[in-house]
Amino acid sequence: MTPRDLPALTVGELQEVLRRREVSPQEALVALHERITEVDPEIGAYLSLDLEAALRMAETADLDLPLGGVPIAIKDNINVAGQPCTCASRMLRDYRSPYDATVITKLKKAGAIPFGKTNLDEFAMGSSTENSSVRTTLNPWDFSRVAGGSSGGSAAAVSANTAFAALGTDTGGSVRQPASLTGVVGMKPTYGRVSRFGLTAFASSLDQVGPLTKNVRDCALIMNALSGADPQDSTSLPVPVPDHTAQLGRDIRGLRLGVAKEHATTGIDPQVQRLVRAATDHFAALGAEIVGISLPHTDYSVAAYYVLATAEASANLARFDGVRYGYRADGPVGLLDHYERTRAEGFGREVKRRIILGTYVLSSGYYEAYYSRAQKIRELIRRDFARVFEQVDAVISPASPVPAFKTGERDSDPLQMYLADIFTIPANLTGICGLSIPCGFAESPDGVPLPVGLQLLGPALDEARLLQIAYAYERTTEWHRQRPPLSARKEFAA
């Protein structure tokens, strides 16, 4: 195996060659860095790299630990001590974190090496990474299209073999949707399964940190490392953490998988519909029972989400005022001018839109009409899923209603952009777990294959069962092995 071959390995494969001493963690890091230097200028998955710090960690890496010596990319809204945490915003462009988020502490304890901060929609607000103040992350399968968002940088890095695995965050689908669009595996854990301490908050009742990986086993390995209660996060759940790899390979015969009639909406691309239907048939061939179900309040989920998420964003982003930390406008005339100019100049258009919406729905006279009503709808959606999970073990749906769309295609229509998360949002509203796995390719009008993701939703704290179901599909298909032929995509983009 040559150094150029190393970045294409999965986490599990890298662990094998490291433990056999065929390569060292330092050699793996250097090979990965060379791959990033070669490929990433066109993709734009990374915002910063610190090879020297990573190499220092690699010198003392314990290869017997569960993730010993494995470099993992980190979305740039998660704090890593000594590293930037810009949230892809001008507001935090010069900020360096003084501490590690709990998920980083846990990764390091498992032997992993955090390496590279990845691009995102500013403060994780978006579905295409076009809201980054730095640049848009492009889809490795087609440079004219988006990689999804807000964890587009993490997804694109894994897809392009410029990361062995990555961490993202999922507030309304921001791990699963970009995983779908780039052809990788992405998991949103149950709310509270993974600590949020050290994550820059967007919407505190919705945010969760989750892994993006090249296959399901890697996802399970990283879930083992990330999961567990944290005294620094009062929302983390004090429950035992299972071995998420233990059920991989078990038969899924007799498991009941639900297909909701409400998911057969007119907004789904016909190719996505066909591929998800084929995946459903494949599960049936593996012995699972496919059950028709109803989630009657599905149509209200996007509206409820964008009331609740913007309200929480408005409160969370109030701290960025240019007084305590962050960007500060030059030469303000008085305190009010300081606040107005700092926030107007420091935040991008989408962030300002959501702050305004959130402030509005929380304002006197509108709280009951919007925020309170959205909370009631959230409870109805939660009850829908609670009832459904009495009938089935998991729910099948598309992860995204469409394959990757063109950059700029939805920029002038925020509603169409928001609808990109129509299938993923309910999991965040209800706190359940969800997973996107590759299930095939649509073909663009230009003849370029575009990945399509299948979403599996499971009851709270049932990540191990979801991974079992996903692994059964993965090991009997080849979609997860496909990687973008970047040389061909370069020619296409030119």
Q: What DSSP character marks residue 369?
A: I
Q: What is the pLDDT of residues 217-243, one digit of tens each?
A: 999 999 999 999 999 999 999 999 999
The H or E element containing residue 181 is: helix 176-182
Query: Closest Cα partner for 78 from 26, 118, 127?
Result: 118
Q: How far, in whole angstroms, is CA 378 from its chain's centroid? A: 22
- The tokens describing 412, both together, are 């002038």
Q: What is the pLDDT of residues 93-129, one digit of tens each?
A: 999 999 999 999 999 999 999 999 999 999 999 999 9
Residue 437, C-beta contacts closer than 8 angstroms, at least 6 positions apart: 185, 216, 453, 454, 456, 470, 473, 474, 479, 480
DSSP 391-437: T-SEEEEESSSSSPPBTTTTTT-HHHHHGGGTTTHHHHHHT-EEEEE
Instruction: Calculate the average pLDDT of the chain.
Output: 96
Strands 256-260 and 289-293, bridge-based pairing: parallel
Query: Closest Cα partner for 306 from 366, 373, 359, 354?
Result: 354
Q: What is the pLDDT of residues 384-406, one digit of tens each?
A: 999 999 999 999 999 999 999 99
CATH code of domain 3-262+268-295+382-493: 3.90.1300.10
Domain extent listing, the chain: 3-262+268-295+382-493
Gyration radius (Cα) of the chain, Å: 21
Q: What is the pLDDT of residues 124-170, one digit of tens each?
A: 999 999 999 999 999 999 999 999 999 999 999 999 999 999 999 99
Residue 281, C-beta contacts closer than 8 angstroms, at least 6 positions apart: none
The β-bridge partners of 269 are none
Active site residues: 75, 150, 174
CA distances from 489 to 143, 144, 409, 482 (A): 7, 9, 19, 14
d(CA 69, CA 179): 24
Q: What is the pLDDT of residues 422-464, one digit of tens each?
A: 999 999 999 999 999 999 999 999 999 999 999 999 999 999 9
Helices (H), 286-323: 301-316
Query: Closest Cα partner for 248 from 221, 281, 213, 280?
Result: 221
pTM over cut 0.75: yes
d(CA 123, CA 118): 12
Which position has the higher pLDDT, 471 or 325? Answer: 471
Contact 255, 464 (CB under 8 A): no
3-state secondary structure 197-265: CCECCCCCCCCEEEEEECCHHHHHHHHHHHECCCCCCCCCCCCCCCCCCCCCCCCCCCCEEEEEHHHCC
Model confidence band, residue 492 (pLDDT cutoffs 50, 70, 90): very low
d(CA 76, CA 200): 9
Residue 41, C-beta contacts closer than 8 angstroms, at least 6 positions apart: none
